[in-house]
Amino acid sequence: MSLYWRIFLLNAAVLVAAVSLLLGPVTVSTPVLFGEAVVLLGGLAAMLIANAVLLRVGLAPLDRLTRAMTSVDLLRPGGRTRVEGPGEVAELTTSFNAMLGRLEAERATSSARALSAQEAERRRIAQELHDEVGQTLTAVLLQLKHAADRTPAPLREELRQVQETTRTSLDEIRRIARRLRPGVLEELGLHSALRALTTEFTTVSLSVRHFIAPGLPELDEATELVVYRVAQEALTNAARHAGASNVEVHLSDRSAGAVRLLVRDDGAGIRLAAEGAGVQGMRERALLIGADLAIGGGPHGGTDVRLDVPTGRAGESRR
């Protein structure tokens, strides 16, 4: 029976019962006596309560479905609404779950294309920085050195300072190019890339240490890139926003061949602010490889960023 007919028949039953009472034992005088008014008001209250209860029971599945719709987050997939209620409501819930599945699949596909294009653009920019800007600055350094060697002593020191400034700019461009395109990841693998990343972020005010367990399962290239980018973003957040002084990067074998990346800092911790583009980017990358990303407070304060790569993404042990 459809929801419309269920509600209609339930209300009709209440009204028929009220009319039957009026035509039977219940009578109304003119003017209305006190006892009759009490009976009528009691009957009206009973009718309203009966309607409220029946509508609440009949529409409860729709309320649950509405709450599920308002809490949907495609970056946290897997949540589904329990199919229950009368036929139409059950069909609506089933259709909503199917639509949610299609949206999650489409989101994953579009995110994969977008991140692939982003990585390609990063490689192109890094290559241009290295080949064009880097070579130009190298040529400028050589010309400055040649000019400084032939310049009178009063101007030589100024040219030396310009040389140092140019050399510093060249080092900064090379550092940016390495962040855009992690060549060490492609050439030496994830372990060496994480070690280089911790060294790069280590400064006078920030100590970054790595702990990489031996004999970890080997991951494919796409998974290694995701793990590297998540670690890079977590370290960037710790250095720029958390005010941390110590950061640890752990890569370990969680269980049954699954790999866990843990970035733990001693900074200000998680605040109530909404997640930024960096955290959302980490979640999108985790979805691409079916990994589980969790961001929360550490055991002694600060922030823990955990990425668990499932066993299906792992192969044979790295030698």
The domain locations on the chain are 3-103, 116-180, 189-317
Q: How far is CA 86 from the centre of its chain?
A: 35
The confidence score (pLDDT) of residue 215 equals: 80
Residue 242 φ then ψ, to 5°? -85, -20
- CB proximity list for 6: less than 8 A, separation 6 or greater: 58, 86
Residue 249's pLDDT is 92
Going by C-alpha positions, the residue among 279, 268, 284, 285 that lies closest to residue 305 is: 279
Whether the CB-CB separation of 231 and 271 falls below 8 Å is answered with no
Give 4's pLDDT tier (boundaries 50, 70, 90). low
Query: Which of 153-157, 161-165, 198-202, 219-223 has the least mean pLDDT?
Result: 153-157
- Residue 36's identity, in one-letter code, is E
pLDDT higher than 70, residue 75: no
Q: 67 or 315, which is more confident?
A: 67
- Among the ranges given (130-134, 159-163, 185-189, 280-284), the one the predictor scored with the smallest mean pLDDT: 130-134
Residue bearing tokens 């009368």: 86
pTM higher than the cut 0.85:
no
Nearest to 309 by CA among 199, 210, 225: 225
The rounded distance, in Å, linking the Cα atoms of 194 and 184 is 9
d(CA 309, CA 217): 11
Residue 302 has pLDDT above 50, yes or no: yes
Residue 241: per-residue pLDDT: 79
Give which of 71, 99, 110, 65 is closest to 84, Cα–Cα: 65
Give the pLDDT of residue 28: 63
Would you call the peptide bond into 31 cis, given omega within 30 degrees of 0 as the criterion?
Answer: yes
Contact between 233 and 197 under an 8 Å Cβ cutoff? The reply is no
CA distance 35 to 127: 94
More confident residue, 58 or 97: 97
Question: What does the mean pLDDT of the chain come to?
Answer: 78
Instruction: Give the rounded percent of residues in the chain with a pLDDT score beyond 70.
Output: 83
Confidence of residue 216 (pLDDT cuts 50, 70, 90): confident
CB 261, CB 250: distance < 8 Å: yes
In contact, 283 and 295? CB cutoff 8 Å: no
Mean pLDDT of 59-73: 74
Closest CA to 2 of 92, 81, 64, 82: 92
CATH number of 189-317: 3.30.565.10
Q: Half-sphere exposure of residue 2, counting CA atoms within 13 Å on the CB side?
A: 3
Task: Give the model's pLDDT for residue 317.
Answer: 38
| pLDDT on residue 32 | 62
Q: Give me the helix-helix angle, 190-201 and 153-180, nearest 10°.
A: 140
Q: Which amino acid is at 27?
A: T
Q: What is the pLDDT of residue 262?
A: 92
Tokens of 9: 């028949």
At residue 24, the pLDDT reads: 63
Confidence at 21, pLDDT banded by 50, 70, 90: low
What pLDDT does 314 receive?
45
Nearest Cα to 316, choosing from 229, 261, 226, 253?
253
pLDDT at 25: 65
Of the pLDDT bands very low, low, confident and very high (cuts 50, 70, 90), residue 170 is confident
pLDDT in tens, 222-275: 888 889 889 988 888 888 877 888 899 999 887 666 888 999 988 877 765 567
89: exposed, middle or buried (C-beta count within 10 Å: 0-12, 13-18, 19+)? buried
